[in-house]
Structure 1
Amino acid sequence: MKQKIVMRVEMTCQKCRTKALKLGAAANGVNFVGLEGESKEKLVVIGDGVDAVKLTNLLRKKVGQTNIISLAEVKAS
C-alpha cells in the first residue's frame, strides 16, 4: 500500500532542511521526499510501507518539533 505522509517540521535553517530530507530519504520503503508550503515547513514522504510514527519520532529527535498533518493512501493511476 503506497501512502503519502505530510508532516510539519520546525526547520529554522537550511542545514535543518537538508537533515530532515536526508532522514526522510533514509527511511525504509521511501520513494519520494520533498518540501512544500509557503516557507517549506512541510515534509512530504511517499512510499510503500513507511512507518509514519517511527519517522516522526526520528525527526523529533534529530531535527526538532514534528507533527503528522495527514496520512493518505496514494491511488495507482
Structure 2
Amino acid sequence: MQQKVVIELKIKCSKCRSKALKIVAVQNGITKFGFEPENRNRMVIIGDGIIDAAGLALSLRKKLGYADLVSVEEVEEES
C-alpha cells in the first residue's frame, strides 16, 4: 500500500523550496516527493505504508511558517 499526501506551502524563494525538500527527504517511508508542475506551491509526497502527514505538515509549518494539509489518499503501487 502506498499513500499520497498533498501539502500546500507558501514558497517565497528558492531557499525556502530547498528547505522544504530537505525536511521531507529525511522522513521515514517516503519514496517520491516533489512540487506539482502546474502549482509550484503544492508538494506531492508518496510513501510506502502510512506516512505521518500531520507531523510532516507540522514540521514544514515550524520551518517555513505556513503549510496546509490538502489531501491524504491511498494510491495503487506501480509495478
Please give the TM-score of this superposition, normalised by the length of structure 2. 0.89
By how many angstroms is 1:38 displaced? 3.2
Q: Report the residue type matching 1:71 in the other structure.
A: V
Coordinate RMSD, CA, aligned = 1.3
By how many angstroms is 1:25 displaced? 1.2
Q: Any unmatched runs of 5+ in structure 2?
A: none
Q: Any unmatched runs of 5+ in structure 1?
A: none
Q: Report the residue type matching 1:28 in the other structure.
A: N
Question: What residue is the counterpart of 1:76 in the other structure?
Answer: 77
CA distance in 2, matches of 1:11, 1:71: 21
CA distance in 2, matches of 1:76, 1:33: 15
Matches within 5 A, 1:31-42: 31-42=31-42
* Structure 1 stretches of 4+ moved >6 Å: none
CA distance in 1, matches of 2:6, 2:31: 14
Please give the TM-score of this superposition, normalised by the length of structure 1. 0.91
> Contact 1:11/1:64 (CA < 8 Å) preserved in 2?
no
Question: What residue is the counterpart of 1:45 in the other structure?
Answer: 45
Q: Report the residue type matching 1:8 in the other structure.
A: E
When residues 18 and 11 of structure 1 are mapped into structure 2, their CA distance, relative to the original with a 3 A threshold, is same
CA distance in 2, matches of 1:31, 1:64: 25
Question: What residue is the counterpart of 1:60 in the other structure?
Answer: 61
CA distance in 2, matches of 1:19, 1:76: 28
CA distance in 1, matches of 2:16, 2:30: 20
